[in-house]
Amino acid sequence: MGRLVWLIFAIFLAFSQKCQGKIEENDVNEGPFKVYRIVPTTGWQLEEMIRIFENADSEEADFWHPPSVVNQTVDVMVSPKNTRFFEKFLQNGSFPFEIAIKDLKKKLIEKEGDEKLSRFSRSGFSRSRRIFVEKIMRDGPGSGLVMGEYYGYATIVDWMKRIADRMPRLASILEIGRSAEGRGIFGIKLGHDDGRKPIVVIDAGIHAREWASIHTAMYFINLMANGHDSDPWIRSYFDNIVLYILPVLNPDGYEFTRNDRTNPRSRMWRKSRSQQRCAWDGQSTKCCHGVDLNRNFDFRFGEVGASRYPCSEIYHGESAHSEPETRAFANFLMNLGDRLKGYITLHAYSQLWIYSYSHRKFTYPANIEEIRNVAARAVAALGREFGTRYQYGTGPEIIYAFSGGSTDWATEKLRVKYSYTLELRPTYEEWNGFVLDKRQLIPTAKETWAGVKVVIDQIILEYRTKIARVFRQRVNAEALEKAEQRRISLKGKCSDESQSCLHWRSQNPDICRTSQSAMLRECPNMCDLCHLVLP
């Protein structure tokens, strides 16, 4: 059976290679892109799916849900030219499967609108509503964009710049570097920075197709920008922490997904858009763009859950931090020093709250109990908003093992205590996480903020506790220093009443301590107790 399955799969790959990874209009016209839901029920089937996942060309077979454990769903988007071959492969391997989406392009239009329509028409805005929105975008208040919408990268950057211009004492724009295609990687800094307060960093959009994560980061910025004057909780964040939010860490990939939004190959692009790399796959040389930036960090690089094949959606790059986006972000985090106390990266989807380490089961940082406790409280707070249920744990505990991720790198290399990867709505079992209904965008962001607040509040609590402890230590040290100075200044200014003081101490060297009351009366000078006698 194994040889037959691999023969079918070899045919599938060989046919895929004829396409040369191009996004061609006639490819879309030949038939629909389909999404297959597969459930490997045996160890052998799971191993076969893992092999395909690590070696398949992502432009021909794109895994939305990678294989992890037996009896857990695996979702794969297959291009029109390969659906017949892929189904034959599944049938010959006796894989249980169903077609979850029969026509992905139709589903994209249904959920996100036809690309020919204007942004406001796609949203169903009336003319009066459009005028109102345009006025807000032009005149304020604080943020100037309506939440519950997807926006282009240039619009997002302009929006953040307007916030910084209108809140110069509270916000500033930052550019951490340039992408492979030369775009600036922008973020916003929020808070009164006195050079000592703890820093929290939130990023999103490291995977291009995960639009809901980008909207969620924008929602956070919007809350902070508009809540300073009206929300005491948010005001306390401006006063007690410095918050950096980078809503699109992979701007090239994000813009690529927007250029041809109803073409599944474009819209479902995951990686960056760096220059093509080529590799021999056993039959021919294939060249593909991009790197999975969340496999490119310098933590157990290339060890597990990543691929060395450039056309794989989990291609880890030529070396750790080989990509301009990961280099820029790593340098940015390193320059924050030991003030960096929290790091959260937003992804979609599966409803997971992931902490380190994700390269191997039962491998944890030293302070895992505190990290796990905060994750549990964050998930509980999130769930109280709309009843959404998240799992929490390490990658291999709740989804799959992977290395080269940003949060594990921050935990290991930068010693960031609270470092989390958040996979937003919907659940792992659902198929539509990358094309989340717009009506779910604001609830998703709102509940995520409730969980993030738990992390921020814990960081503030620990910072205040540390400040209070340092203050007490300083006060105690100053008191001790004053007492010592007084003791020295008074020494010799009082006299011993008894002539036997030296004799008593020779008989009992510890007498000044054990009989302090008597020595205070009889031998204060010998026992160095003058400061207790004289006013």
**Which pair of tokens denotes residue 280?**
């021999």
On whether the CB atoms of residues 357 and 404 are closer than 8 A, the answer is no
How many Å is the Cα radius of gyration of the chain?
31
On whether the CB atoms of residues 153 and 183 are closer than 8 A, the answer is yes
CA distances from 26 to 32, 80, 107 (A): 11, 10, 19
On whether the CB atoms of residues 531 and 490 are closer than 8 A, the answer is yes
Q: Which helix (H) or strand (E) holds 396?
A: helix 395-398
Q: What does the DSSP 8-state code read for residue 61?
A: E
Q: Are strands 97-101 and 171-178 parallel, antiparallel or unpaired?
A: unpaired
Cis peptide before 309 (omega within 30 of 0): no
| Per-residue pLDDT tens listing for the chain (535 residues) | 444 444 445 445 544 444 434 444 444 456 899 999 999 999 999 999 988 888 788 778 888 888 888 998 899 999 998 899 999 999 999 999 999 999 999 888 887 765 543 344 333 344 444 444 444 444 444 557 899 999 999 999 999 999 999 999 999 999 999 999 999 999 999 999 999 999 999 999 999 999 999 999 999 999 999 998 899 999 999 999 999 999 999 999 999 999 988 889 899 999 999 999 998 877 778 899 999 999 999 999 999 999 999 999 999 999 999 999 999 999 999 999 999 999 999 999 999 999 999 999 999 999 999 999 999 999 999 999 999 999 999 999 998 899 999 999 999 999 999 999 999 999 877 766 788 888 999 999 999 999 999 999 999 999 998 887 777 777 777 777 777 777 677 766 788 888 899 999 999 999 998 999 899 889 988 888 887 776 6
Q: What pLDDT shows up at residue 381?
A: 98
Q: What pLDDT shows up at residue 6?
A: 45
User: Is position 112 annotated as part of the catalytic site?
Assistant: no
End-to-end, the C-alpha distance of the chain in Å comes to 98
Give the C-alpha separation, 192 to 391, whole Å: 34
Q: Is 127 exposed, middle or buried (0-12, 13-18, 19+ CB in 10 A)?
A: exposed
Q: What pLDDT shows up at residue 20?
A: 39
Q: What pLDDT shows up at residue 244?
A: 98
From 313, 412, 423, 447, the catalytic residue: 423
On whether the CB atoms of residues 327 and 337 are closer than 8 A, the answer is no
Q: What pLDDT shows up at residue 280?
A: 80
Q: What pLDDT shows up at residue 272?
A: 98
